[in-house]
Amino acid sequence: MSTKDFIEKDYYKVLGVPKDATEAEIKKAYRKLARENHPDANKGNTKAEERFKEISEANDVLGDPKKRKEYDEARALFGNGGFRAGPGGAGGGGSFNFDLGDLFGGGAPGGGAGGAGGGFGGGLGDVFGGLFNRGGTGGGAGTRTQPRRGQDIESEVTLSFTEAVDGATVPLRMSSQAPCKACSGTGDKNGTPRVCPTCVGTGQVSRGGGGGFSLTDPCVDCKGRGLIAQDPCEVCKGSGRAKSSRTMQVRIPAGVSDGQRIRLRGKGGPGERGGPAGDLYVVVHVDTHPVFGRKGDNLTVTVPVTFAEAALGGEVKVPTLGGPAVTLKVPAGTPNGRTMRARGKGAVRKDGSRGDLLVTVEVSVPTSLSDSAKEALESYREATADDDPRAELFQAAKGA
Ligand SMILES: [Zn+2]
Ligand SMILES: [Zn+2]
């Protein structure tokens, strides 16, 4: 199969199935047609033989969900039967994400598509890298020069509570597969690998499965690379790939929460043969804070108040995260556990505004009292002797 095949051949038509056919429908259509046109049943019939080949080819692609997706994408990009890739055409037609914009340092993530719109840089290498490095008949060594996108990398970072609220730039150490520096990724000491004779550079070998079927495996001799080192590089043992670790400064936006996964485009493993880099996914862990909690954009805090403050009302100082304390008015008769709101003292939102600080009052009961305090409370008890706080409770209990 070649680029041309993918663009020109309508495999759906060959199998007589609609474009949105299910895997089962494709399988069924293929089996029926294969039976009808099988060479064993049509001896000497060259037309049936041709047709059988077509059917097998179509099933090779449509029967494999990954290949089918690539095929659909290639056809969506280039149209059915004709190249439409004028300037910027590829950018507009595809479902590819060209956004390689630098997300670091809080830069605007937009605009990436514009940059890539002019050509086939980036995203397409991914598609064609996958498409044509495999199973090509006669593509030869040339197909190996297709760029390939770098791998996606997953990493983790633990932030303090405050860092998560405010955002932070943290060093992240990552290791990934990268082209070996010593041999520029060729695997050959002198940078002059030769084409693998076993697979003639395709990186794939076919093995007959009988009945016109053929299966492809990665070539064992070149490990699917299509190239063999004449004089293997000592650093990477001829593989052309090496583990590279690097430390990057990663900007974690303000307001992340524990367990959140952040995607940093283009910050994953480096691409091969000029392909774009993969993405970096960072799973964020957030430490708890001894005083503050978090509810979305809001921060929470529990503030002890005296019984007198709750009953008579008063002004209470409340700590904020990383800022000066605020004074909160506690109205007279505030019940234990009531939550009040200090506006704008919460976590930073995406748009730069802030959530609120939710302040829950907790009436604290003194464990030791001075003589005069005791005296005052005794007289308070006398003054309120007629108030029964449990009267309603018993009334309700009886009523039900
Ligand atoms: Zn090979
Ligand atoms: Zn090397």
138 pLDDT exceeds 70?
no
The residue among 126 and 359 whose pLDDT is bigger is: 359
H-state helical runs in the chain: 3-8, 11-15, 23-37, 46-62, 65-78, 89-93, 112-116, 123-132, 161-166, 307-312, 371-383, 391-399
Measured distance CA(146)–CA(5) in Å, rounded: 17
Closest CA to 125 of 66, 178, 70, 180: 70
Confidence of residue 72 (pLDDT cuts 50, 70, 90): confident
Which residues make up each annotated binding site?
180, 183, 196, 199, 219, 222, 233, 236
Distance 229 CA to ligand 2 centre (A): 10
Distance 205 CA to ligand 1 centre (A): 8
Distance 186 CA to ligand 2 centre (A): 7
Return the pLDDT at 283.
92
The residue among 98 and 57 whose pLDDT is bigger is: 57
Measured distance CA(319)–CA(2) in Å, rounded: 67
Q: Tell me: the pLDDT tens digits for 153-194?
A: 888 899 999 999 888 999 888 776 777 888 888 888 888 888
143 pLDDT exceeds 80?
no
Return the pLDDT at 87.
38
228 pLDDT exceeds 60?
yes
In total, the chain counts a number of residues equal to: 400
Distance 194 CA to ligand 2 centre (A): 15
The residue among 126 and 239 whose pLDDT is bigger is: 239
Q: Is the dihedral of CA 364, 370, 372, 374 positive or negative?
A: positive
Closest CA to 57 of 225, 216, 217: 216
User: Mean pLDDT, to the nearest integer, of 48-75?
Assistant: 85
Confidence of residue 9 (pLDDT cuts 50, 70, 90): confident
Which range among 34-43, 59-68, 90-99 has the greatest average pLDDT?
A: 59-68
For ligand 1, a single-atom ion, which residues have Cβ within 5 Å? Answer: 196, 198-199, 219, 221-222
Return the pLDDT at 79.
53
Return the pLDDT at 319.
96
DSSP β-bridge partners for residue 361:
303
Which residues make up each annotated binding site for Zn(2+)?
180, 183, 196, 199, 219, 222, 233, 236
Return the pLDDT at 208.
66
Percent above pLDDT 70 for the chain: 79
Instruction: Kindly tell me the burial class for residue 239, based on how many C-beta atoms sit within 10 Å of its own C-beta (0-12, 13-18, 19 or more).
Output: middle
Q: Is the dihedral of CA 82, 86, 92, 95 positive or negative?
A: positive
Confidence of residue 338 (pLDDT cuts 50, 70, 90): very high
Confidence of residue 111 (pLDDT cuts 50, 70, 90): very low
80 pLDDT exceeds 50?
no
Return the pLDDT at 137.
36
Report strand pairing: 339-342 vs 357-363: antiparallel
- Mean pLDDT over all residues of the chain? 78
C-alpha dist (Å) from residue 122 to 91, 96, 112: 11, 9, 11
What pTM did the predictor assign? 0.47
The residue among 203 and 321 whose pLDDT is bigger is: 321
Return the pLDDT at 209.
58
106 pLDDT exceeds 60?
no
Structure tokens at 333: 């008769």
